[in-house]
Amino acid sequence: MANLGFVGLGVMGGQLVKRLLSKGHTVTGYNRTRSKAQWLIDKGMKWADSPRAVAAAADVTFAMVTNSAAITSVTEGPDGILAGLSKGKIFVDISTVSPSVSRALAAKVREKGADMVDSPVSGSVITLQEGKLSVMVGGRRETFERVKPLLLDIGPKVTYVGDNGLALAMKIAVNLSLAVQMMAFSEGVLLAEKSGIARETAVDVLTHSAVASPMIQYRGPFVLQQPEEAWFDVNMMQKDMLLAMELGRQLDVPLPTTAVSNEFLTAARGMGMAKLDFAVVFDVLARMSGISK
């Protein structure tokens, strides 16, 4: 049982805290909007009034926020995580942010006598609830070994990939494929539908075929009905696609299918769908195909 902190209690962050609490850990949490964290407080999570207070109270502090600007916001300043860190403490950032931003942050953490790993996860709310989440870790190996038991409480697959920032590079490599797969799936459904096959039938066949990755199996049905709350909305996915294309530019790796898929996310935003799950790229392609949902 460990003394943990958690900053960022959104859809995934909240579910991660619920899981850590169920494993018997003490968790002190902070979220910008306290009301969204009340259900976790009711389950036994301790509340802190700032990210600094979370880090001061915990031996290991986790953060899961939306982007590079958000991680800077919760770590810097008099009320930030950095101000609450001290010698021997560990900061585990689960956010998907720029690898270079993460490396710079890790250097600041070490100036405090603490250490940091980037530890993004692959999966969805359903994957987490089923206990199938996979975790990637970048940082010093000795720090990885210290936090590995905690990460195994989050998901059964925990992989050390190398130095700080490399887990983020790996996560970006994973996420670009999610959007590309969703585009290909949408093309297949629409081709079948315009041939005269019911959309429900096409979705059923494709999600039970050789192309059915775990992501397609749980997200494919979203082309029939969007979830009440987006698991991973258009804005979040596009953030990751832009990180991928920037990394590709830096490393001279062409990413043609990533670039095309990103344009459909831009189209979805232009159509007012930014807050819907990124599976809504199907609707963009459907309209281009002359089909109204």
From CA 251, how far away is CA 36, in angstroms rounded? 40
Domain positions in the chain: 3-164, 172-288
Q: How far is CA 34 from the centre of its chain?
A: 21
Catalytic, 171? Answer yes
CATH H superfamily, domain 172-288: N-(1-d-carboxylethyl)-l-norvaline Dehydrogenase; domain 2 (1.10.1040.10)
Fold: same for 3-164 and 172-288: no
- pTM here? 0.89
**Digit-coded pLDDT (tens) for 233-270:** 999 999 999 999 999 999 999 999 999 999 999 999 99
**Digit-coded pLDDT (tens) for 90-110:** 999 999 999 999 999 999 999
Q: Which two tokens stand for residue 44?
A: 């036994």
CATH H superfamily, domain 3-164: NAD(P)-binding Rossmann-like Domain (3.40.50.720)
- Determine which one of 132, 171, 239, 275 is catalytic: 171
Q: pLDDT above 70 covers what percent of the chain?
A: 100
**Digit-coded pLDDT (tens) for 274-284:** 999 999 999 99
Q: If we measure between CA atoms, which residue out of 2, 1, 58, 59 comes closest to residue 30?
A: 58
**Digit-coded pLDDT (tens) for 204-216:** 999 999 999 989 9
**Digit-coded pLDDT (tens) for 171-230:** 999 999 999 999 999 999 999 999 999 999 999 999 999 999 989 998 999 999 998 888
pLDDT on residue 293:
64
From CA 247, how far away is CA 227, in angstroms rounded? 31
